[in-house]
Amino acid sequence: MNATTGLTKMTSHELARIVFHHKELFILDVRNETEFSDWKIEGKGIEIINIPYFDLIDGVDSALDKIPENKPLLVVCAKEGSSVFVAEQIVEAGRTNVSYLEGGMKAWSEHLEPVKVGDLKDGGSLYQFVRIGKGCLSYMVLSNGEAAVVDTLRMTDVFEQFAREKNVKIAHTIDTHLHADHISGGRQLAAKEGATYWLPPKDATEVTFSYESLEDGKEIEVGKSKINIQPVYSPGHTIGSTSLIVDDQYLLTGDILFITSIGRPDLAGKAEDWVGDLRTTLYTRFKELSNDLIVLPAHFGKVTELGEGGKVAARLGDLYQDNPGLNITDEAEFRRTVTENLPPQPNAYQEIRQTNMGKINPSEEEQREMEIGPNRCAVHDQ
């Protein structure tokens, strides 16, 4: 707490727990209207308004009557500085229980919150890392002193620290496909940890680095007890998209199947070519799998998809009942749905793909700017 003003800071971790547990919070977002409309903090207990910083430079009186006195207030901006300035004025005006978001929306975009998904049959465990500010999901499979990280995000220090805490060695990093909305940390983490990096070969025709081929027929062993990660070729979002079956319990679907939507086929400019693959994967190949598999996607679209404790997961059989993208019986209608009237493409997605191929090497700050904003890998946001 700032002793002179009574102002407190809130970390992204603290904010994530508020969102996960549906606690009440009022947010004043002082970014410009364009940034706010593109991407904001959301949650079941969250109430949020946008008043740009430049409208508050000369005083916060215009904002005070819009801010309830009976709820905690969080002021947010892009990088922190503007929110501190505004929050201090609000405290000086006599309001209490006021905080600002440490590091601003930049920190929120990069925060990863580990959530335990469940136990494995041999006593191992599976964790989901929720990048709540951007809707990305990574996974760590732990078994008998070893770990595999799936769809690693570029904040690799989080995975390294978590592995140290759990006393496991990262033996494998796996990308289910060549990502277009965020920069993969899989190669970087594998290099730092002496691990094997896996990538589907059909997505790797233009990459500039070596990798292990992730394809049907391979089994990736994690730990002495042989927790098998079985690749399932599932094209459609990309031509190489490959899902993973872990411990005969979990289906890690990458960006091919989400909880309330399905993957879009257009981020490599191949929508017309890949739409048939997408339908075959979702309507034929996945139908042959056990309905009891727990689907764990690489993204979520809305915070309403967060379940107990922040976990994003659903039973495959339930998705065939409830997910609209799995219930389009007419093939022509399916084709129209996944190729027309799609959401905007992810920010800088071409540059992100080039980075993930190893063709360009942007700086840390450039990578951060490339990733700003929401993920847009789904056909539609529910």
130 beta partners: 113, 137
Helix (H) or strand (E) holding 28: strand 25-29
Domain 8-108 has CATH 3.40.50.720: no
Strand order of the β-sheet with 8-10 is 8-10, 98-101, 73-76, 25-29, 46-50
Closest CA to 172 of 153, 186, 158: 186
Q: What is the pLDDT of residue 178?
A: 94
Q: What is the largest CA-CA distance in the chain?
A: 66
State which amino acid sits at residue 166: K
Cβ-Cβ contacts under 8 Å for 82 (sequence gap 6 or more): 30, 53
DSSP string for 30-57: -S-HHHHHH-----TTEEEEE--GGGTT
Alpha-carbon distance 323 to 337, whole Å?
14
Give yes or no on whether 8-108 and 112-371 have one common fold.
no
pTM of the model: 0.92
Q: Are 87 and 104 in contact (CB under 8 A)?
A: no
In tens digits, what is the pLDDT along the chain, a chain of 382 residues?
554 457 999 999 999 999 999 999 999 999 999 999 988 999 999 999 999 999 999 999 989 999 999 899 999 999 999 999 999 999 999 999 999 999 999 999 999 999 999 999 888 999 999 999 889 999 999 999 999 999 999 999 999 999 999 999 999 999 999 998 899 999 999 999 999 999 999 999 999 999 999 998 888 999 876 667 888 999 888 899 999 999 999 999 999 999 999 988 876 666 777 889 999 999 999 999 999 999 999 999 888 899 988 999 999 999 999 999 999 999 999 988 888 877 777 678 889 999 999 999 999 999 988 887 777 777 764 4
Question: Domain residue spans in the chain?
Answer: 8-108, 112-371
CATH class of the domain defined by 112-371: alpha beta
Catalytic residue among 46, 77, 87, 141: 77
Other beta carbons within 10 angstroms of residue 196's beta carbon come to 15
**AA letter at 240:** G
Query: Dihedrals φ, ψ of 147, to 5°?
Result: -145, 150
DSSP structure class, residue 133: T
Bridge partner list, 378: 263
Write out the H or E segment, with its range, that includes residue 337: helix 331-339
Structure tokens at 238: 């990309």
Rounded to whole angstroms, the Cα distance separating 186 from 191 reads 9
Helix, strand, coil in percent for the chain, rounding step 5: 30, 25, 45
Measure the CA–CA gap between 44 and 304, rounded to whole angstroms: 7
> Of 323, 201, 340, 316, whose CA–CA distance to 261 is shortest?
323
d(CA 298, CA 257) in angstroms, rounded, equals 9
**Hunting for tokens 């009976």 — which residue is that?**
70
Q: Give residue 3's pLDDT.
A: 45
136 part of the active site: no
Residue 106 and residue 96: Cα distance in Å, rounded? Answer: 26
**Amino acid at residue number 228:** N
What is the dihedral sign for C-alpha 275, 250, 19, 29?
negative
